[in-house]
Structure 1
Amino acid sequence: MLLCFAVYKCAVSPTGDKLYITNNSQHKLLTLARNGSVLATFTDPALQGPRGIHVTPAGQVLVIGAQSNTILQIDSEGKRKLATLVTQKAGLVNPRSVCYNRHTASIIVGSLNSTILVFKVK
């Protein structure tokens, strides 16, 4: 199966059955099955210019809206937003990469301006 779309970043589910892809130019998060078929397409006004993506060991999907300066938590099916975790109000500017550290319950974000931000998860 040949799919044509712009892939910016991707991540794999903990079980290996899903691939999450950020499509920066179309402001979408795509969820693909192992065979390449599209399982879900997620869009949201708070997800502008999706760039970085991370899947936690529990299967939670964290995706960065680089233009909207947000980090969203999406369900493991890639269909709905569970939460807006961080916004520009918290100091998030030009985010590009995201990672969750379960040992410290923190979201670590790399920004375009060479800064690393750490946000504690409640």
Structure 2
Amino acid sequence: MYFLPGLHVTDSGQVLVCGYLTHTVVQVDRDGRQILAEVVTENNGVILPLSVYYSKHTRSIIVGMRNNTDITVFKEQ
């Protein structure tokens, strides 16, 4: 089974992508060719991320993962 990466474009135009096999959520450039930053990683508890969303209201990143029935919320620092 193949998994397409979860993707979210914030209101400010930042592109967030789930790295399913790398256990990361990264920010990429608008063309999707270059990783600009690792946003959250396995060290933060991310395992097999499937979906990502940034809430400007709570200033947090919400990540859904394959092996977890819960969502994980990371507050912006």
TM-score normalised to structure 2 length? 0.86
Structure 2 portions without partners, runs of 5+: none
RMSD of the alignment, in Å?
A: 1.7
- Is 1:119 the counterpart of 2:74? The answer is yes
Structure 2 partner of 1:46: none
- Is 1:72 the counterpart of 2:26? The answer is yes
The alpha-carbon deviation at position 93 of structure 1 amounts to 1.1
3-state SS, counterpart of residue 83 of structure 1: strand
Q: Percent identity?
A: 47
Structure 1 partner of 2:53: 99
C-alpha separation in 1, matches of 2:3 and 2:58: 30
Moved over 4 A (4+): none
Letter in 2 for 1:98: V
Equivalent runs, 1:30-109 vs 2, <5 Å: 51-109=5-63
Q: Give the greater-gyration-radius structure (CA).
A: 1
Structure 1 portions without partners, runs of 5+: 1-5, 9-50
C-alpha separation in 1, matches of 2:53 and 2:75: 12
C-alpha separation in 2, matches of 1:110 and 1:7: 13
C-alpha separation in 2, matches of 1:95 and 1:79: 20
